[in-house]
A and B are shown apart, each in its own frame.
Chain A
Amino acid sequence: MGYVIAIPLLPALAFGVLAPLSNRARNAAIWVPVAAVCGSLLLSLAAFARVWPGGHEGEAVYRASAVFATLGSVNLHAGVLLDPISAVMLVVVTLVGAAVQVYSVGYMHRDERIGWYFAVLSLFTAAMLALVLSDNFLQLYMAWEVMGLCSYLLIGFWHEQEAPRKASLKAFLTTRVGDVGFVLGLAVMYATAGSFDFAVVLHGFTWVPATATAVSLLFLFGAIGKSAQVPLHVWLPDAMAGPTPASALIHAATMVAAGVFLVARALPIFQASGVALTVTMIVGVTTAIVGGLLAAVQHDIKKVLAYSTISQLGYMFFALGAGGIVAGIFHLMTHAFFKSLLFLGAGVIIHAAHTQDMREMGGLAKKMPVTTATFTIGSLALAGIFPFSGFWSKDEILTVLWTEGHYVVFALALAAAFVTAFYVARLWFRVFTGPEQTPELAEAHAEMLVPMGVLAAITAVIGFGSPYFARFLGHTGAWPEAGIALTSTAVAGLGLALGWCAYGRRTKVINTRPLKERAGFVYDALAMKLYFDLTYDYFIVKQYARLADALWAFDHTVIDGAVNGAGAIWKAGADVGALFDTYVIDGAVNGTATLVRAAGAKVRRIQVGRIQAYQGLMVGALVLLMLWFVVKGA
């Protein structure tokens, strides 16, 4: 079983091989990462077969760990833990990773820096695999941050342009806000449980509800940032500025699902808290609806998919919040496959239509049969239509909500499903039907179509594995109940029908202006992304800039005065001290105070902008500090 360690090491090795090469040599060596990820895929399948027929979460089939750092008496471990959940995630990550890399060979072949792209993709894959295999939260966090870095690098891959550059920064900073929560959670966890190991903190430690709530809410905050949940979802749509296959892997299938994975792993802590589960559910259901509504008004095909991802991740969150770990992970898996399929399809469409704006597309079905077929499968899966994978996982989530008695959330989830079906129909009809707007449409190369075909095949059949999947994770599995299945299908069908009414029955380029005018207020709100970005811009970015201005003004006026004032205050303090101190010390202090004041008056004149002025200020502060120690010591 030692080969499990090799699963994340292979892509890491590929990165190690590629990174130091010259640009040209790197471009010639892109087969190395592809081979590495394929090797990982084979090993993952072997590991999966070994874990079959499954067991409980945390029951390790294989584990190994080693100390990687010693801080005082604390040993920090790095290790691998192969249990049913990590086995599933391994297969998902390597499968999607392999598909995306093969696809990228075709998609990126004209790019000058394709080698670097593949190197970062490998590093990302390695980090994600290390994350799902980790046996403690610290290693999980480290892999989490490496993924954040790769995400940043790939979003800003075309950094010559402004939009990707800004988007990468936004993504990095926004997720960083969440990461602060994660780190604080780790600190609280270590302070209470004295360990990061899953075995200890999840199964061997009795959590007090209060600390469990603190830890789980902080973890949830980290997950909200990484998985682009409301209110930290704003980075994901902008992240679409990166290369499309990278979006498929990182911003649809794997990295954004890491937050879900974190919550799923830490679920025992969440359950010990109770409150945290409710919060998770509220965050999830809000995100599912907000994301779906926003997806329905986007014109950029990738942004539709991005908001759709946000919405679907919300589904996973409220599934976990309702305690449905099987349903949540199952949806994570099916979503990874069909959403990466949709993104890869979108990449082909963008290549063919030379635009990302759906208003400038149309009639692609005739010229691109393979893409249309695979994309349709993905779309139907996303909408939740039998027999495609999304139907099964969505039904499982709905079943969990129903049996656990969360009827309000159940209704909201159905509403989200309705919106989902609507925007799927909108996307599909706009792109594939109607008049052609691009002259020379052509089908993509085989190396792009084959991965899509594989993902489509998986999407078409994997749903039937639903009960076996539950058993694999150590729960009792069952086929979906007829009532819930029918309800959800009916809702999805209604959504598709509405979409067809609005966008399907057209022969010309359609005009949705009447609709917009009738629902002007709602549409405007949605078109402005529900004002999230504007709010952040106004309350955070602008205020930060104002604060910086204010600080500068403060520097300009107050600090100057403070240098003088410090002398005076010092003198006053020394006068008080004189009551206790000897006469000599008092005199000395007064003398130095006068000196400091004189020096301050001089320093004041050379303020602002000069290096030496700042240096002087620094030394002055140091002198004051030392004098304080001297006086205190005396």
Chain B
Amino acid sequence: MTETVNGAVFLALSFATIGGAVMMLSTRNVVHAAFWLLEVMIATAGLYLLLSAEFLALVQVLVYAGSVSVLVLFTIMLTLRRREDAIRPFEPGWSAGVLAALFGGAVLFAAERFFSQPRPGVMPETVPDVAAFGEKLFGTWAVPFEIASLVLLVALVGAVWWSGGEGR
């Protein structure tokens, strides 16, 4: 028995993701861009659900949609003196575009060409649930998990230090 991913749902979500990214990069207002990023993140959470990674979807919403977007918005507000500063001139960046397109094209080409993994749209069915995920996270992956928390702590201290008061 195998599971399948619903094509319509996938199409809708990928449209939301890519469309959101395009809008984020094309809008001239930085605040709007932050909201488009939020939209991309939420759409990605949907993709995770589609891939039966419920926990990741939850974390995605909490971390990215919740905190990161707020953080970005705060930074934008703290670094804007006037409301009009949010509007920036459009920066086409042609060379960057060509480079990025080339890169994406190369990846796509390589993926299409050399992918040897199961081609048909079937996913193996045996999917462990969130409970199994938690058990593994605090079993096999306990040490990396602790290290990750340490990384976050250090980043926290560093961020406070850098953005701290005028005294420095």
Q: Chain B nearest CB: distance from A590 CB in Å? A: 14
Residues of B within 8 A of A599 (CB): 95, 98-99, 102
Is B98 a contact partner of A602 (Cβ separation < 8 A)?
yes
Residues of B within 8 A of A595 (CB): 98, 102
Partner among A602, A603, A634 whose Cβ is within 8 Å of the Cβ of B113: A634
Q: Is A629 interfacial (CB 8 A cutoff)?
A: yes
Please judge, given known A-B contacts A599-B102, A619-B103, whether A626 and B96 are in contact too, CB under 8 Å. no
Is A630 a contact partner of B98 (Cβ separation < 8 A)?
no
Q: Is B1 interfacial (CB 8 A cutoff)?
A: no
Q: Chain A nearest CB: distance from B89 CB in Å? A: 17
Is A602 a contact partner of B95 (Cβ separation < 8 A)?
yes
How many angstroms from the CA of A627 to the CA of B107 in the assembled complex? 9
Q: Please, what's the 1-or-0 string for A595-631, where 1 marks a CB less than 8 Å from any CB in chain B?
A: 1101100110010000010001001101100110110
Q: Which residue of B lies closest to A599 (CB)?
A: B98
Is A630 a contact partner of B102 (Cβ separation < 8 A)?
no
Q: Chain B nearest CB: distance from A491 CB in Å? A: 60
Q: Chain A nearest CB: distance from B38 CB in Å? A: 24
Q: Please, what's the 1-or-0 string for B95-121, where 1 marks a CB less than 8 Å from any CB in chain A?
A: 110111011001101100110000000
Q: Chain A nearest CB: distance from B109 CB in Å? A: 6
Q: Is A211 interfacial (CB 8 A cutoff)?
A: no
Q: Is A633 interfacial (CB 8 A cutoff)?
A: yes
Is A592 a contact partner of B102 (Cβ separation < 8 A)?
yes
Within 8 A of A (CB), among B126-167: none
Is B107 a contact partner of A626 (Cβ separation < 8 A)?
yes
Is A627 a contact partner of B95 (Cβ separation < 8 A)?
no
Residues of B within 8 A of A602 (CB): 94-95, 98
Is A633 a contact partner of B114 (Cβ separation < 8 A)?
yes
Residues of A within 8 A of B99 (CB): 599, 603, 616, 619-620, 623
Q: Which residue of A lies closest to B94 (CB)?
A: A602
Please judge, given known A-B contacts A619-B103, A622-B103, A623-B99, whether A630 and B109 are in contact too, CB under 8 Å. yes
Within 8 A of B (CB), among A238-274: none
Q: Which residue of B lies closest to A598 (CB)?
A: B98
Residues of A within 8 A of B96 (CB): 612, 616
How many angstroms from the CA of A62 to the CA of B127 in the assembled complex? 54
Q: Which residue of A lies closest to B106 (CB)?
A: A626
Q: Chain A nearest CB: distance from B115 CB in Å? A: 12
Residues of A within 8 A of B102 (CB): 592, 595-596, 599, 623
Is A603 a contact partner of B109 (Cβ separation < 8 A)?
no
Q: Chain A nearest CB: distance from B82 CB in Å? A: 26
Q: Chain B nearest CB: distance from A203 CB in Å? A: 38
Residues of B within 8 A of A633 (CB): 110, 113-114
- Chain B interface bracket (under 10, 10 to 19, 20 to 34, 35 or more): 10 to 19
Partner among B94, B95, B110 whose Cβ is within 8 Å of the Cβ of A629: B110
Q: Which residue of A lies closest to B95 (CB)?
A: A602
How many angstroms from the CA of A634 to the CA of B109 in the assembled complex? 11
Residues of B within 8 A of A596 (CB): 102
Residues of B within 8 A of A627 (CB): 106
Q: Chain B nearest CB: distance from A109 CB in Å? A: 31
Residues of B within 8 A of A629 (CB): 110
Q: Which residue of B lies closest to A600 (CB)?
A: B95
Q: Chain A nearest CB: distance from B102 CB in Å? A: 5
Q: Chain B nearest CB: distance from A629 CB in Å? A: 7
Q: Chain B nearest CB: distance from A603 CB in Å? A: 5
Q: Chain B nearest CB: distance from A377 CB in Å? A: 52
Residues of B within 8 A of A592 (CB): 102
Q: Please, what's the 1-or-0 string for A574-608, where 1 marks a CB less than 8 Å from any CB in chain B?
A: 00000000000000000010011011001100100
Residues of A within 8 A of B106 (CB): 623, 626-627, 630
Q: Chain B nearest CB: distance from A92 CB in Å? A: 39
Q: Chain B nearest CB: distance from A620 CB in Å? A: 6
How many angstroms from the CA of A213 to the CA of B104 in the assembled complex? 53
How many angstroms from the CA of A592 to the CA of B110 in the assembled complex? 15
Q: Chain B nearest CB: distance from A233 CB in Å? A: 39
How many angstroms from the CA of A606 to the CA of B98 in the assembled complex? 15
Residues of A within 8 A of B114 (CB): 633
Q: Please, what's the 1-or-0 string for A61-98, where 1 marks a CB less than 8 Å from any CB in chain B?
A: 00000000000000000000000000000000000000
Q: Which residue of B lies closest to A626 (CB)?
A: B106
How many angstroms from the CA of A630 to the CA of B114 in the assembled complex? 9
Instruction: Pick from A599, A620, A633 the residue with the most CB of B within 10 Å.
Output: A599
Residues of B within 8 A of A616 (CB): 95-96, 99
Q: Chain A nearest CB: distance from B17 CB in Å? A: 21
Residues of B within 8 A of A598 (CB): 98
Q: Which residue of B lies closest to A596 (CB)?
A: B102
How many angstroms from the CA of A602 to the CA of B102 in the assembled complex? 14
How many angstroms from the CA of A629 to the CA of B110 in the assembled complex? 9
How many angstroms from the CA of A619 to the CA of B106 in the assembled complex? 12
Q: Which residue of B lies closest to A606 (CB)?
A: B95
How many angstroms from the CA of A544 to the CA of B95 in the assembled complex? 35
Q: Chain B nearest CB: distance from A117 CB in Å? A: 25
Residues of A within 8 A of B100 (CB): 619
Q: Chain B nearest CB: distance from A567 CB in Å? A: 12
How many angstroms from the CA of A630 to the CA of B99 in the assembled complex? 17
Q: Chain A nearest CB: distance from B88 CB in Å? A: 16
How many angstroms from the CA of A595 to the CA of B113 in the assembled complex? 22
Q: Chain B nearest CB: distance from A510 CB in Å? A: 52
Can you name 10 A-B pairs with beta carbons within 8 Å? A596-B102, A599-B95, A599-B98, A603-B95, A606-B95, A616-B99, A619-B100, A620-B99, A630-B109, A630-B110
Beyond the given pairs A616-B99, A630-B109, 9 more chain A to chain B contacts, judged by CB atoms under 8 angstroms and listed by A's residue number, are A596-B102, A599-B95, A599-B102, A603-B99, A612-B96, A619-B103, A620-B99, A623-B106, A626-B106
Question: Which A residues are within 8 Å of any B CB, using their own CB?
Answer: 592, 595-596, 598-599, 602-603, 606, 612, 616, 619-620, 622-623, 626-627, 629-630, 633-634
Q: Which 5 A-B pairs have the closest CB atoms?
A: A602-B95, A626-B106, A599-B98, A623-B102, A623-B103
